[in-house]
Structure 1
Amino acid sequence: MIKFYNKLTNWGKILFFLMIFIIILFIFKNFDSLHKEGFIQNDSFLFKSNDSIYDDFYANIYDQLVFSNVKDNYEIGEIVNKTKPTSESIILDIGCGTGHHVAELKAYNLNVMGIDNSDAMIKKAKDNYPQYNFVKGDAINANLFHYNSFTHITCLYFTIYYFKNKTQFFTNCFNWLMPGGWLIIHLVNRDMFDPILPPAQPLLLVSPQRYAKKRITNSKIVFDGFDYHANFNLNKNNNIATFTEKFNNINNKVRKNEHTFYMESQKQILSYAQNCGFIIQAKSDLIHCGYEYQYLYFLSKPE
């Protein structure tokens, strides 16, 4: 390590120390955040699946598991740059979660509404951003909004994979959009994307998948009072993936979450959208914010 350092130029040494400083800040930030939540339950074993997962406990810990300010900033920057929303735009964020994408869009002084199918997530979003508009709603419900209500609809961070009937989802979005409107969806290369959660990443800037002989699908995080383990498993034959989470507290009580993702290939999902009338206009690669093999697709409703 010393020999490597001595060979660096002055600029290289500055960048080296800057990188070490950023890594230390990242570690301390995550260490502090992972000690904020407790894990208390009466049952020795609690199983939750799909919609039931998103209760108060999970809503309060969700950001500590998956939130990335860098990713959110990049995504919203790409959306703004590619679709040019104005003060006249009306934007719907489907699967708004704890509200951060809505807040990023509101920073551009845009008219945005966030919907989520979880009462607890909507409550958390309102706690985070009480000044913004969050409503409980299921995007599969065709009667949730009137036709031609929005100029933009976003569906980010794996939300689309919770919908088994994607044709219904795309049909609803098509109907809710005004002519010329935009639908922006997050899709991944299901075989190649990195399923390790950000706090469990051993490297800050480099994906460990590049150096692993076999794809790493496990995440492990130590919280104050309990351990967290997660695993991603893909069944390509059925186009279904399961993301299983286990919380083990100091009293040997266990909570298990099982998310079901309806994970067709990108090509298949985009064909559903095209069959509903959408035109594929653009694609953004999220490798630029550290999320390799993950993408934003920009679809438009014809004028």
Structure 2
Amino acid sequence: MLMILVKQIKQLFRKIAKGSFWFKITVLTLIILIACVIANNNRPEGFVQKNKFEMKQGTDIYDDFYASIYNDLVFDKIKNEYEVGEIINTTHPTEHSLILDIGSGTGQHVAELNDKGYPTIGLDLSPGMIGQAKKKYPNLKFKNGNALEFMLYPAHSFTHVLCLYFTIYYIEDKQQFLKNCYDWLKPGGYFVLHLVNRNKFDPIINSADPLQIVSAQRYAKKRITNSLIKFKDFQYRGDFKLNKDNDIATFEEIFKDDKTKHIRQNVHKMYIPPQKHILSIAKELGFVLKGKIDLVPVQYEYQYLYVLYKPE
């Protein structure tokens, strides 16, 4: 039954692909509207804010409110399960391994790996995210800390270090970060790093993209960078902008309360050089590239997990 449904949906998208540009836009708009209406019933309620306008940057973004809705914005169970499965198949952890997930957020990857029998701990810079992770997974280990601090862990502590979901791009000093990861790894350990093709990846966040079977970017003349979501009591808008001249991107989020009309603006600053630049730093530090996992099977085109190895 499921295979028949998938086949029918694929046939529908082939028909859409043959239509005119405006026909494609109309169909996409209708799908987005329908998805927003369906999803609205499950959205969390609005945020409480005294001021008419507040702007948050850096670590201030990840407060209790943002941590509480983070999964509603970006969590994708299918993608997470695929990533964990590929990491296991490629790096072969055991029950004696110790995995560190840097930028662990609300703890989804940490939980998935522990559920499969591979001891994993989470590290995140945000107290709000750590609080949310501990609340959801009270029996798992999470630490609030800065991965740029070398003394955070002793050398040779972990068999695996993970850096997933854009975490590397929030770190300006990539040299120090990668050096710490290298030193924290045991000889023979693996470092799994999420990187993207900055010019082609889809910046629409998961909850704002109803086309999970095919990328909306394929049907757009110009790259779509806006994300729109209707929550129960507030509206969300996100926009990704890249400046290739200085390798800096911004992701701006606007939350507008339906009742008070108060606005919260989050400005994420990302340091996003070409992939080869980051990989060259890793190579200079001693990492050996062992593999590249393409996330296209779960509809994250131009996004990859690079598997790096610390020689014994």
Task: Provide the residue aligned with 2:80 in structure 1.
Answer: 72
Equivalenced residues, count: 290
Task: Provide the residue aligned with 2:301 in structure 1.
Answer: 292
Where structure 1 has 5 or more consecutive residues not aligned to the other structure, the ranges are: 1-10
1:7-55 deviation per Cα after TM superposition (whole angstroms, max 9, x unaligned): xxxx8578438999xx9x9878733331x23211001111100211000
Aligned residue identity for 1:298: V
CA distance in 2, matches of 1:236, 1:205: 30
CA distance in 2, matches of 1:204, 1:301: 36
CA distance in 2, matches of 1:259, 1:37: 23
Where structure 2 has 5 or more consecutive residues not aligned to the other structure, the ranges are: 13-30
Change (3 A) 1:210 1:119: same
Contact kept in structure 2, 1:37 and 1:61, CA below 8 Å: no
CA distance in 2, matches of 1:96, 1:116: 6
Matched, 1:276 2:285: yes
Task: Provide the residue aligned with 2:147 in structure 1.
Answer: 139
Aligned residue identity for 1:65: L
Task: Provide the residue aligned with 2:26 in structure 1.
Answer: none
CA RMSD, Structure 1 to Structure 2 (Å): 2.1
Contact kept in structure 2, 1:37 and 1:60, CA below 8 Å: no
Contact kept in structure 1, 2:107 and 2:137, CA below 8 Å: yes
Matched, 1:228 2:236: yes
Task: Provide the residue aligned with 1:8 in structure 2.
Answer: none
Aligned residue identity for 2:283: Q
Report percent identity of matched pairs: 50
Q: CA deviation at 1:131?
A: 1.1
1:59-106 deviation per Cα after TM superposition (whole angstroms, max 9, x unaligned): 001000000000000000000000000011010000000000001101
Q: CA deviation at 1:211?
A: 1.4
Q: CA deviation at 1:165?
A: 0.5
Q: CA deviation at 1:205?
A: 1.0
Matched, 1:173 2:173: no
Alignment of 1:143-222 (within 5 A): 143-222=151-230
Contact kept in structure 2, 1:59 and 1:124, CA below 8 Å: yes
Aligned counterpart for 1:32 among listed residues 41, 54, 64? 41
Q: Determine helix, strand or coil for the equivalent of 1:126.
A: helix
Q: Determine helix, strand or coil for the equivalent of 1:33.
A: coil
CA distance in 2, matches of 1:212, 1:171: 40
Calculate the TM-score normalised by the size of structure 2: 0.89
Q: Determine helix, strand or coil for the equivalent of 1:130.
A: coil
